């Protein structure tokens, strides 16, 4: 018997992002966005991680899996029916900015884009599934990247505010839960996805990333203010990629170094968006790293007035840090850095699996902010195999999710206020970091392969029925 109970109104569901599943990249008046120029396959990791990406499509060299995605744009009814069959109470999705404002700079929105999401929300409503909508999930309009330099440019604040306000006005009777920027703090590590620019040099990377983040903080705060005005009952959250940082041992030098990493990666953005002010530790960090922020008059007031109602997070892994890493130790940890943790196993993509880390994350966040939390991403990217009888027996995924749901239960028993859980990629979709289809997260299998072949047929995996029962029993049967 577990020593916890999930709240009665706990929001069980699943999460996706427009660019990773919709496809139809040039239909319905949509403009190009960042994901449309990202190549498929492990080569994407090079593009994301290294300076100098040119944002151009090269069909001779690469494939572009996001162009078709899993064709949710045409198959959303079938997919939402499957979510409903699993018993979803909620569905986290994003709106592709460039469906609404194809270039990002227009004064009037694209009606066809708005109408598409009306149809999606109406379909969800049919099954009483509450949408949670990310306004910006790694899909900044390409025009804002190539012509404006992405979020380094202050003008994006105004474009974003117009876009967000358009969404609040249009969907005020359909959407109550909103998130502003997906994994906003990921930008301190990889600026390309969230901030839409490829750093010119390692030296400019920090300066430009922190300036870009400042623009996003102002934009997010303006969106929070607008949402509260237009939809009084709305709740709008920030979204952090949270990876609790451990010290590799109890050497105080390593502990201090880990604390510093924890602050910059995990706490910095949350402090600004939740508390409404820059944290005390930022001054020294900026000085020592030659970062100087251009903060305009009024920005800090806006940030103070536009604090979020709740904190959402993605949790995939923890991170283990050490002050002086040997060359062999560098890159041995997770995608987000650190060294190998000898106590943890890793996924086929090297992401260390640490359910207790989720309990730690939730406790750290609640201790720090005392705001409701929402786990809007978590899951295991894994290779799936179709058996001769057509079934997909994904025990490894069930084990992963079971242990993480258990960790959330323990955090609830610890006193954490948790609103819901939407595991990532509830239906197989294109991986954000590698552009692969074979890195699958779903309860629902989609017949699409890395080379683009496949019928796009949907199939229920074993985890589909397992998760259905988790929801029916409100987390009592794992
Ligand atoms: C999160 C992103 O970082 O992790 C998602 O918000 C992403 O967009 C997910 O898909 C899993 O990462 P990946 O690289 O395995 O797709």
Residue owning the nearest CA to atom 8 of ligand 1: 432
Pocket of ligand 1 (CB under 6 A): 17, 20, 138, 182-183, 241, 314, 377, 381, 424, 431-434, 439
Interatomic CA distance for residues 217 and 329, integer angstroms: 34
* Nearest ligand 1 atom, CA 186: 3
- Reduce the DSSP state of residue 327 to 3 states and report it: coil
Task: Determine how many CB atoms are found less than 10 A away from the CB of residue 153.
Answer: 18
CATH architecture, domain defined by 11-472: Alpha-Beta Barrel (3.20)
Phi-psi map region of 232: left, alpha, beta (phi>0 left; psi -120 to 50 alpha): alpha
Cβ atoms of 219 and 160 within 8 Å: the answer is yes
Residue owning the nearest CA to atom 12 of ligand 1: 432
* Nearest ligand 1 atom, CA 138: 8
Residue owning the nearest CA to atom 7 of ligand 1: 432
Rounded to the nearest whole angstrom, what is the distance from the C-alpha of residue 306 to the centroid of ligand 1?
A: 27
Q: Extract the tokens encoding 345.
A: 């196993």
The pLDDT value given to residue 340:
96
The phi and psi torsions of 427 (rounded to 5 degrees) equal: -125, 140
Interatomic CA distance for residues 195 and 188, integer angstroms: 10
Interatomic CA distance for residues 461 and 116, integer angstroms: 28
Note the ipTM here.
Answer: 0.99
Planar angle of CA 122, 82, 99, nearest 5 degrees: 45
Q: Extract the tokens encoding 173.
A: 């009777």
The phi and psi torsions of 346 (rounded to 5 degrees) equal: -125, 160
The 3-class SS string of 123-176 reads: HHHHCCCEEEEEEECCCCEHHHHHCCCHHHCCHHHHHHHHHHHHHHHHCCCCCC
- pLDDT tens digits, residue range 216-234? 999 999 999 999 999 999 9
> Across-strand partners of 211?
none
pLDDT tens-digit profile, the chain (478 residues): 789 999 999 999 999 999 999 999 999 999 999 999 999 998 898 888 778 899 999 999 999 999 999 999 999 999 999 999 999 999 999 999 999 999 999 999 999 999 999 999 999 999 999 999 999 999 999 999 999 999 999 999 999 999 999 999 999 999 999 999 999 999 988 899 999 999 888 779 999 999 999 999 999 999 999 999 999 999 999 999 999 999 999 999 999 999 999 999 999 999 999 999 999 999 999 999 999 999 999 999 999 999 999 999 999 999 999 999 998 898 788 888 899 999 999 999 999 999 999 999 999 999 999 999 999 999 999 999 999 999 999 999 999 999 999 999 999 999 999 999 999 999 999 999 999 999 999 999 999 999 999 999 999 999 999 999 999 999 999 9
* Residue 377 bears catalytic tag: yes
Residue owning the nearest CA to atom 4 of ligand 1: 432
Full-model pTM = 0.98
């Amino acid at each position: 018997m577990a020593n916890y109970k999930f709240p009665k109104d706990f929001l069980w569901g699943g999460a996706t992002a427009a660019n990773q599943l919709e496809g139809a990249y040039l239909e319905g008046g949509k403009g190009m966005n960042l994901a449309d120029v990202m190549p498929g396959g492990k080569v994407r990791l090079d593009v994301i991680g290294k300076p100098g990406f040119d944002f151009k499509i090269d069909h001779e060299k690469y494939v572009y899996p996001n162009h078709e995605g899993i064709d949710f744009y045409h198959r959303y009814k079938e997919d939402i029916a499957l979510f409903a069959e699993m018993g979803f109470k909620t569905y986290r999705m994003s709106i592709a900015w460039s469906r609404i404002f194809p270039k990002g700079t227009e004064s009037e929105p694209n009606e066809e884009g708005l109408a598409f999401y009306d149809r999606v929300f109406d379909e969800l409503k049919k099954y009483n599934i509450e949408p949670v909508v990310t306004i910006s999930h790694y899909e900044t309009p390409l025009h804002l990247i190539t012509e404006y330099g992405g979020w380094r440019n202050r003008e994006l604040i105004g474009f974003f505010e117009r876009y967000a306000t358009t969404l609040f006005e249009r969907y005020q009777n359909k959407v109550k839960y909103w998130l502003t920027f997906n994994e906003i703090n990921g930008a301190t590590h990889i600026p390309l996805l969230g901030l839409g620019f490829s750093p010119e040099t390692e030296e400019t990377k920090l300066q430009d990333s922190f300036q870009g983040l400042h623009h996003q903080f102002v934009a997010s705060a303006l969106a929070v203010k607008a949402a509260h005005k237009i939809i009084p009952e709305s709740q709008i959250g920030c979204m952090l990629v949270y990876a609790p940082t451990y010290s590799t041992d109890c050497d105080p030098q390593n502990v201090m170094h880990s604390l510093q990493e924890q602050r910059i990666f995990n706490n910095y953005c949350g402090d600004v968006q939740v508390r409404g002010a820059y944290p005390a530790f930022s001054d020294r960090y900026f000085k020592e790293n030659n970062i100087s922020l251009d903060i305009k008059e009024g920005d800090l007031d806006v940030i103070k007035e536009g604090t979020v109602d709740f904190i959402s997070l993605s949790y995939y892994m923890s991170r283990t840090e050490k002050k002086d890493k040997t060359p062999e130790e560098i890159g041995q940890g997770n995608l987000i850095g650190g060294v190998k943790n000898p106590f943890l196993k890793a996924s086929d993509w090297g992401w260390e699996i640490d359910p207790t880390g989720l309990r730690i994350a939730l406790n750290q966040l609640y201790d720090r902010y005392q705001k409701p939390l929402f786990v809007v991403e978590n899951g295991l990217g894994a290779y799936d195999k179709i058996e001769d009888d057509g079934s997909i027996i994904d025990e490894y995924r069930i084990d992963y999710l079971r242990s993480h749901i258990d960790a959330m239960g323990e955090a609830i028993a610890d006193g954490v206020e948790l609103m819901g859980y939407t595991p990532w990629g509830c239906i197989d979709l294109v991986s954000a970091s590698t552009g692969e289809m074979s890195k699958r997260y779903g309860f629902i299998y989609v017949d699409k392969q890395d080379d683009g072949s496949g019928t796009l047929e949907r199939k229920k995996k074993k985890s589909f029925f397992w998760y259905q029962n988790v929801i029916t029993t409100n987390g009592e049967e794992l």
